[in-house]
Amino acid sequence: MQLVVARIGRAHGIKGEVTVEVRTDEPEQRLGPGAVLFTDPASVGPLTIETGRVHSGRLLLRFEGVADRTAAEALRNTLLIAEIDPEQLPEDEDEYYDHQLIDLDVVTEDGEEVGRITEISHLPSQDLFIVERPDGSEVMIPFVEEIVTEIDLEEQRAVIAPPPGLIDDRDARDEVADGHSASPRDDS
């Protein structure tokens, strides 16, 4: 099975190094020297990591056969993909690979069906579940502990405690109807 582990950013310096946006919690295992990675687009790879180092908080990689800035810049926005055993699980019990989460049913803590996870969006600040609702619409749910309270792989479901307005704007309208809105101004 294939797992996206990083996205190549801009070139760094003149000797073929690139910045890398890491998309794995195990960079030392997946992005070390000698690692051979598939790419998207496939025509760019596979790429073999020659060296890696951290500079100013960013991971810099150099690949075999990429010797200058021009060649490094040509790799920009390429996804790096590792081949992993489908039975392999992350080291931390509270971590999940995307393939484990895709197609999970999403329900609220009181059992209301929300939809099914169709995609995981990896943003710099947090990950988002892209959930397809039964009516075909989509909702984005932040994958944070306060909202996603349980992942049950055996039952194939994710349990959420959504704040008002996250999954249904009726919740937000109900709060306003309960007297939590501002009063109209009287200018007389």
Residue 104 pLDDT > 50, yes or no?
Answer: yes
Q: How many CB atoms lie within 10 A of CB 11?
A: 22
- List, for residues 161-181, the tens digit of each pLDDT value: 998 888 775 444 444 444 444
How far does the chain reach from its first CA to its final CA, in angstroms?
70
Q: How are beta strands 113-122 and 127-132 bridged, if at all? A: antiparallel
Peptide bond just before 46 cis, omega within 30 deg: yes
Q: Identify whether the C-beta of residue 60 lies closer than 8 Å to the C-beta of residue 18.
A: yes
Opening angle at CA 178, ends 175 and 179, nearest 5: 100
Mean pLDDT to the nearest integer, 39-44: 88
pLDDT, tens only, 77-86: 999 988 876 6
Which class for 38: exposed (0-12), middle (13-18), buried (19 or more C-beta within 10 A)? middle
Instruction: Please tell me the least confidently modeled range out of 20-29, 106-115, 135-144.
Output: 20-29
Mean pLDDT of 120-126: 77
Report the C-alpha dihedral over residues 40, 42, 44, 46, rounded to 10 degrees: 100
| pLDDT reported for residue 73 | 93
Residue 25 banded pLDDT, cuts 50, 70, 90: low
pTM flag (> 0.85): no
